[in-house]
Amino acid sequence: MTVLVTGAAGFIGMHVAESLVARGERVIGVDNLSTYYDVRLKRARLARLEGHAGFAFVEADVADREAMLSLAEREPDATRIVHLAAQPGVRHSLVDPYAYVQANVMGHLVMLEASRRLKRVDHFVYASSSSVYGGNRKLPFAESDRVDHPVSLYAATKRSAELISESYAHLFGLPQTGLRFFTVYGPWGRPDMAPWLFADAILSGRPITLYDGGRLKRDFTFVEDIAAGVLGCLDHPAPGDAPRLLNIGNHRSVEVRRFVEVLEAALGRKAAVVDTPRPATDVEETFADIEAIRAVCGFEPRTSIEVGIPRFAEWYLSWRKGG
């Protein structure tokens, strides 16, 4: 099987691509190496992937119609797509809103069009986000809950991509699964996300910023569980006319201050804390109902934060030392 993985130089993309090549698939990774965060980290992830014979890299922008259509035409065996490329980050969407619509809406549409026109794609799996649930107070979040109140532009673009995808299932019968990822962490993580920001501040002797005393709760999900879930779902294509949207999370809602305690223990240092009110872009709690993905894709989260955070910390320390 040949799988086109967009966002392959990214955090989740690298783990997904690596899991695919490890089980013998051919992977074409696409990424534009966006400068949203340290490109050195993206190049290091790619270098790791390029160590596998089954991996090939194409530097391209998913919103570039010609580039994506001609890539798809050059790769007639790519019958499965894992579309992860996006502009992530809820708070940054206040700073550069255009980048979010361009990558997450236009880029998503281009990938759907490339899939439709080629008529060969038998499963289009794409990244959505727990952020589509907005300030939902019904816990845990189930796929049938209302998702009509995004609290960030990032969330609005992810919900838009879900709706555009659904129209492609209805009109063109494109088999698809949208996965709503819940706060992913682990080795090779993102420098703009809390685990990295906290670890960096703790080791540099700077205070960490906690919102609302660290009482916000997140369903922290280990990246290797996410990668296993993506592959499990990829192997179970949805019927063409029935678009699928599935939560993928750890099914445990953990206070951020507890996450920090485990990180402090893993790093052997205490954090100094600055407490500030929660910004309008951030919700109080996320918590995934995962019954649907269990039933459809056989997904089972295996990694508690007590196991996953030390794995992240160990990797982070080696990266900080220079790889």
Pick between residue 40 and residue 119 the one whose CB is nearest to ligand NAD: 40
Q: What's the min distance (Å) between Cβ of 118 and ligand NAD?
A: 19
Compare residues 173 and 211 and give the one whose CB is closer to ligand NAD.
211
- CB closer to ligand NAD out of 87 and 253: 87
Q: Between 62 and 262, whose beta carbon lies closer to ligand NAD? A: 62
Tell me the CA end-to-end span of the chain in Å, nearest whole number.
32
Distance of closest approach, residue 102 Cβ to ligand NAD, in angstroms = 7
Q: Which residue, judged by CB position, is nearest to ligand NAD in the bound state?
A: 10
User: Whole-number minimum distance, CB 5 to ligand NAD, in Å?
Assistant: 10
In the set 100, 126, 154, 316, the catalytic residue is 154
For ligand NAD, the binding residues (CB under 6 A) are 6-7, 9-13, 31-34, 42, 61-63, 84-88, 103, 107, 127, 129, 181, 183-184, 190
Nearer to ligand NAD, 86 or 305 (CB): 86
Nearest approach in angstroms of CB 234 to ligand NAD is: 15
Q: What is the chain's length?
A: 323
316 given a catalytic annotation: no
Work out how close the CB of 135 gets to ligand NAD at its nearest, in angstroms, rounded to a whole number: 17
Scored b (16 or more CB within 10 A) or e, 155-182 reads: bbbbbbbbeebbebbeeeebbbbbbbbb
Active-site residues, by number, are 154
